[in-house]
Structure 1
Amino acid sequence: MTTEAAIFLAVTILVVWGGLVASILFLRAHPESRRMPPGGEDDAAETAREAGGPVVHDT
C-alpha cells in the first residue's frame, strides 16, 4: 500500500466515523424534532384502513 493510499484510507475512516459520532451527539442533544410538517393527525387512508374499507389514492 502506498503512502497516498494509506493517507486516503485514514482520511476516509475519519470522515465516516467522525460523521457517525457527530450524528450520535446531535441526536442525543436534540432527540425530537420541534418542526413537523403540516398534517398527519387525521389521515383519510389510515381511517379507511381502520374501518376495513379500501384505500383510495388521489394520484
Structure 2
Amino acid sequence: MTPIAVTFMVLSIVIVWGGLLVSAFFLRSRGDVADFPPGASDDHREDEGIIEHDT
C-alpha cells in the first residue's frame, strides 16, 4: 500500500472509532431522559381498540 493510502486508512479508522467512542461517552454521561414525548410508556393509546378495516 502506498503511504497516502495508509494515511487515509488511519484517518478513516480514527474518525469512525473516535465517533463511536465519543457517542458512547456522551450517552453514558447524559443517557437518562427527564420527560418523554407523546407515545411513551405512560401513554394510554393502547387502551383504545385496534382499528379494523373492512377489506
Report the TM-score when normalising by structure 1.
0.66
CA RMSD of aligned residues (A): 2.0
Deviating above 3 A after TM superposition, structure 1's stretches of 4 or more consecutive aligned residues are none
Write 1 or 2 for the structure with the bigger share of helix.
Answer: 1
SS, match of residue 36 in structure 1:
coil
**Greater relative contact order (CA < 8 Å, ≥ 6 in sequence):** 1
Residue correspondence of structure 1 range 20-35 to structure 2 within 5 A? 20-34=20-34
Count of paired positions: 49
Asked whether 1:7 is paired with 2:7, we answer yes
CA distance in 2, matches of 1:8, 1:34: 41
**Structure 2 gap segments, 5+ residues each:** none
